[in-house]
Amino acid sequence: MLGPVILAASRSDRMRRLISAAPVTKQVVDRFIPGETVDDIVPIIKDLTGKGLELTMDVVGEDITTPEQSHAARDAYLALIDRLAVLDLGEQVEMSVKLSMFGQALEGGHELALANVRQVVVAAAAIGTTVTLDAEDHTTLDSMFAIHEELRKDFPQTGCVIQAYLFRTEADARRLAAAGSRVRLVKGAYKEPAEVAYQNKHEIDKAYVRILKILMEGEGYPMIGSHDPRLISIAQELAHRAGRKPDEYEFQMLYGIRGDEHLRLAAEGHRMRVYTAYGTDWYGYFMRRLAEKPANLRFFVRSMISK
């Protein structure tokens, strides 16, 4: 019940101002967003990659309102890529981007986002790595898939995300499960209406399995974005049945969630990529993590009361 309320709050400016200014929030936020600057995040990149994990880096931010903020988003990713170049980690560290942080929703925003993300993709390719386009709410997806297709003409390794809760996703998966494509499948983290998305956890999980089957049996590279133990073992079984070797798919989880499982899967010889977010505009990302697990909200509220 709480999830949809928190997701609604994640889009409220008033709540954003309140929560962002709360005195104890930072300490709670750090669990999911372990740094604000590139300098903060480099030691974490070194630590996790040293443990055999792969990473996808997210500079937090979304729903910008001016073109200048789109250029700033591009520059933040370029600064990160400059530092990654020195670390020489190649595809062990890739980037995840949200197109709404690149101005996709502004007037002329599709072109603006494409132009600025393209520069990030070019810089990533120059250091031997790539970019994955995150999936946001369903109204943004046609534009996201069009940008994805455009980028893939020059950079076929550019990835994208699909969300199991949307009715449209089985068809998207069939289209995307082609040679050379990289597709992350997640359950979906936004508040979506019943006209476009399953609302029931059981139905979402069943859709996840159907779509994963399409990806595993296809010719692309599936990226399993989930912490759900049942789905992880089903993914292993489907990969085995499809005759895929361990380097022909990968698991992905979020920083701060089931860290022991990241290490366990990596130790078993799986590719395990940790989605690691950092930056100052953490509100939307943080609220989605609260919505996914009500216990997080209780912890958050307790920490405010005990202050």
Q: Which bin fits 19, alpha (ψ -120 to 50), beta or left (φ > 0)?
A: alpha
Sole binder of ligand FAD in the list 74, 182, 187, 262 (CB under 6 A): 187
Determine contact, residues 151/117, Cβ cutoff 8 Å.
yes
Any idea of the CA torsion for 151, 156, 162, 167, to the nearest 10 degrees? Answer: 90
- Per DSSP, 186 falls in state E
Q: Is 38 in the site for ligand FAD (CB under 6 A)?
A: no
**Secondary structure (3-state) at 144:** helix
Lookup: tokens for 46: 């070194």
Binding segment for ligand FAD (CB under 6 A), chosen from 75-83, 108-116, 185-193, 211-219, is 185-193
Sole binder of ligand FAD in the list 100, 158, 252, 276 (CB under 6 A): 252
Q: Is 30 in the site for ligand FAD (CB under 6 A)?
A: no
Examine the residue annotation and report whether 184 is marked as an active-site residue of this protein.
yes
Sole binder of ligand FAD in the list 189, 214, 216, 239 (CB under 6 A): 189
Q: Is 93 in the site for ligand FAD (CB under 6 A)?
A: no
Gap between the Cα atoms of 191 and 165, Å rounded: 10
Sole binder of ligand FAD in the list 15, 125, 293, 303 (CB under 6 A): 293
Choose the catalytic residue: 74, 118, 182, 184.
184
Examine the residue annotation and report whether 134 is marked as an active-site residue of this protein.
yes
Show contacts with ligand FAD in window 110-169 (CB under 6 A): 134-135, 161, 163
Binding segment for ligand FAD (CB under 6 A), chosen from 14-22, 118-126, 225-233, 238-246, is 225-233
Provide the residue type at 214 as one letter.
Answer: I
- Closer residue to ligand FAD (CB): 106 or 272: 272
Neighbours of 242 (CB within 10 A): 15
- Per DSSP, 164 falls in state T
Sole binder of ligand FAD in the list 10, 70, 100, 226 (CB under 6 A): 226
Sole binder of ligand FAD in the list 44, 72, 115, 257 (CB under 6 A): 257
Determine contact, residues 272/265, Cβ cutoff 8 Å.
yes
Any idea of the CA torsion for 151, 198, 214, 270, to the nearest 10 degrees? Answer: 80
Q: Please tell me the count of residues contacting ligand FAD according to CB under 6 A.
A: 23
- Alpha carbon 146 to its chain centroid, in Å, reads 18
Q: Is 64 in the site for ligand FAD (CB under 6 A)?
A: no
Q: Is 190 in the site for ligand FAD (CB under 6 A)?
A: yes
Binding segment for ligand FAD (CB under 6 A), chosen from 46-54, 175-183, 235-243, 287-295, is 287-295
- Closer residue to ligand FAD (CB): 68 or 237: 237
Burial of 17 (0-12, 13-18, 19+ CB in 10 A): exposed
Burial of 155 (0-12, 13-18, 19+ CB in 10 A): middle
Query: Apex CA 136: angle with CA 130 and CA 138, to 5°?
Result: 130
Q: Which residues are catalytic?
A: 134, 184
Which residues are near ligand FAD by CB under 6 A?
134-135, 161, 163, 186-190, 225-228, 252-254, 257-258, 275, 289, 292-293, 296
